[in-house]
């Protein structure tokens, strides 16, 4: 059974196996969520190395890499089908949620294509059927909505806090 997960850093560190473009996108999203990330790959895209919260292990994946930390999530996104399948098998055996980038049926969860603007988060998922289509739909939503919605959410939060404070003041005034 697969499920969609909104990434929460309190869940624990994430392991990303692979160092190319797909891995770089996963690492960027994890870092935006303030995850601690361990990346294992013989070669790593520079975009990965520049991200905060990332430890890079420049080596081919080995089973012992899964035992380095108590990983909450694993992403298998190498260009090698056999390595991805092995990472997926080992993660599932340890009951760690895993995304296997080149085999949806081997994944136990999916991450949505998300946009964050302040406290506003928009997410679109195709349940792993087509991450490219999910990204395209997300971009169409962003284009349709236009900018400044994150600011509007911030203003709405400020107004709500003021209303709540006035309500608390009224209630406290009635108890005296």
Residues 101 and 158 in one domain: no
Q: What angle do CA 100, 21, 51 make, to 5 degrees?
A: 100
Which ranges of 15-148 does DSSP label H, i.e. alpha helix?
A: 21-32, 46-49, 81-93, 131-145
Say if residue 83 is in the same domain as residue 129: no
Please, what is the average pLDDT of the chain?
A: 87
90 and 29 fall within a common domain: yes
Residue 78 CB-density burial (10 A; 0-12 exposed, 13-18 middle, 19+ buried): buried
| 98 and 118 share one domain | no
User: What is the pTM assigned to this prediction?
Assistant: 0.73
Same domain, 76 and 139: no
Which pLDDT belongs to residue 174? 65
State both tokens at 30: 């994890």
Report whether pLDDT(4) > 60.
no
Considering the domain architecture, whether residues 47 and 65 belong to the same structural domain is answered as yes
Write out the residue range of the structural domain in which residue 43 sits. 3-111
- What is residue 66's DSSP assignment? G
- The residues pairing with 76 across neighbouring beta strands, listed in sequence order, are 17, 100
The verdict on 38 and 94 lying in the same domain is: yes
9: three-class secondary structure by DSSP: helix
Residues 52 and 82 in one domain: yes
CB contact at 8 A, 88 and 98: yes
83/15 same-domain check: yes
Work out how many domains the chain is built from and give that number. 2
Residues 95 and 126 in one domain: no
Location of structure tokens 């990303």: 16
User: Mind listing the pLDDT tens digit for each residue in 46-59?
Assistant: 999 899 889 999 99
Evaluate whether 137 touches 113 at the Cβ level (below 8 Å): yes
CATH number at residue 9: 3.40.50.720
> Do 73 and 31 share a structural domain?
yes
Average confidence (pLDDT) over 24-43:
91
């Amino acid at each position: 059974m697969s499920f969609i997960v909104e990434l929460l850093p309190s869940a624990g560190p994430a392991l990303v196996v692979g160092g190319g473009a797909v891995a770089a996108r996963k690492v960027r999203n994890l870092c935006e969520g303030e995850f601690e990330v361990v990346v294992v790959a013989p070669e790593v895209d520079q975009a990965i190395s520049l991200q905060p919260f990332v430890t890079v292990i420049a080596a081919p994946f080995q089973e012992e890499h899964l035992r380095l930390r108590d990983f909450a999530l694993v992403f298998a996104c190498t260009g090698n089908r056999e390595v991805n399948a092995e990472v997926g098998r080992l993660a599932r055996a340890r009951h760690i949620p895993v995304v296997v980038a080149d085999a949806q049926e081997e994944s136990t969860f999916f991450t949505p294509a998300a946009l964050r603007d302040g406290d506003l988060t928009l997410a679109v998922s195709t349940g792993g059927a087509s991450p490219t289509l999910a990204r395209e739909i997300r971009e169409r939503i962003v284009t349709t909505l236009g900018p400044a919605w994150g600011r509007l959410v911030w203003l709405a939060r400020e107004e709500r806090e003021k209303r709540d404070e006035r309500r608390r003041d009224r209630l406290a005034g009635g108890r005296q």
